[in-house]
């Protein structure tokens, strides 16, 4: 079975550019999570969706960040304009339900903003 | 607020040594507890979980017991292998749907 698929795996771009990260969750999973991982701050939850609806975006750092889930099989995380401090590994995860259901992670997008 | 505290790494061991990675939590309710593992260049994978007090989660030789009295969920393995080298994350989940992760503990196992 296909797992959570993220693209691109690596992104290098210059400060000020728009960055779009993509995620395809596991089919049938109705929860989708976006995380950011850095050495300094560890793993941070940015936003999560249930049935394509954003439930909690309190972790989104600022207005430059936005996330959408137009349908059950696709989500994007956009940064506009990007800044060097946004450099991190961004993970998408999905789960088949809340509570005790485990989250399944993608392999992440390593983002470098120059 | 709710939080998870893990021992700082790296933890460096020789192959076949005994492993303990400490994890304690603070929560207002009765959380479910998880251990996730992250291998280099990959996302996190669920290693084991426990949903109520005194439950023991186990997988691939790893074990952890949900101790309500000490609010702990320490990860143990009797004999580590080089292939166990990874970063291990303790996490809790309350009524809300999101996980609260610890900072992670890097394990390095040498032959």
Instruction: Report pLDDT digits (tens) over A54-69.
Output: 999 999 988 999 999 9
Contact list in B for residue A33 (CB cut-off 8 A) is 98
Contact B99 A4 (CB under 8 A): no
Closest Cα in chain A, distance from residue B43 (Å)? 4
Residue B102 with chain A: CB contacts under 8 Å? 42
CA distance from start to end of chain B: 41
pLDDT of residue A39: 86
Q: Other CB atoms closer than 10 Å to residue A114's CB: what's the count?
A: 10
What is the structure's pLDDT at B50?
A: 94
CB contact under 8 A, B98 and A106: no
Whole-angstrom CA distances from A80 to A17, A33, A92, A112, B42 are: 7, 20, 19, 14, 26
- Chain A CB contacts of B96 below 8 Å: 56, 98
B96 pLDDT exceeds 70? no
Binary contact (B44, A33; C-beta < 8 A): no
Identify the band that residue B95 occupies on the pLDDT scale cut at 50, 70 and 90.
Answer: low
pLDDT digits (tens, 9 = 90+) for B8-35: 889 999 999 999 999 999 998 888 999 9
Residue A97 pLDDT greater than 80, yes or no = no
Mean pLDDT throughout A73-97? 95
Name the percent of chain A lying above pLDDT 90: 84
């Amino acid at each position: 079975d296909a797992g959570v698929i993220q693209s691109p795996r690596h992104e290098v771009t210059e400060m000020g550019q728009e960055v779009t990260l993509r995620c395809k969750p596991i089919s049938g999973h109705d929860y989708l999570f976006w995380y950011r991982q850095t050495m300094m701050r560890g793993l941070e939850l940015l936003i999560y969706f249930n049935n394509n609806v954003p439930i909690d975006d309190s972790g989104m750092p600022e207005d430059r960040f936005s996330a959408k889930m137009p349908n059950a099989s696709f989500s994007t995380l956009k940064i506009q304009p990007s800044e060097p401090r946004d450099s991190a590994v961004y993970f998408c995860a999905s789960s088949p339900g809340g509570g005790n259901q485990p989250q399944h992670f993608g392999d992440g997008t390593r983002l470098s903003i120059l | 607020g709710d939080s998870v505290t893990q021992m700082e790494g790296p933890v460096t061991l020789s192959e076949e040594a005994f492993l303990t990675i400490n994890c304690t939590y603070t929560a207002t309710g009765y959380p479910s507890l998880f251990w996730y593992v992250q291998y280099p260049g990959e996302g996190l994978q669920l290693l084991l979980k426990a949903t109520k007090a005194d439950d023991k989660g186990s997988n691939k030789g790893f074990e952890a017991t949900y101790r309500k009295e000490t609010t702990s969920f320490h990860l143990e393995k009797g004999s580590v292998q080089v292939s166990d080298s990874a970063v291990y994350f303790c996490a809790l989940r309350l009524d809300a749907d999101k996980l609260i992760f610890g900072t992670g503990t890097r394990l390095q196992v040498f032959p």
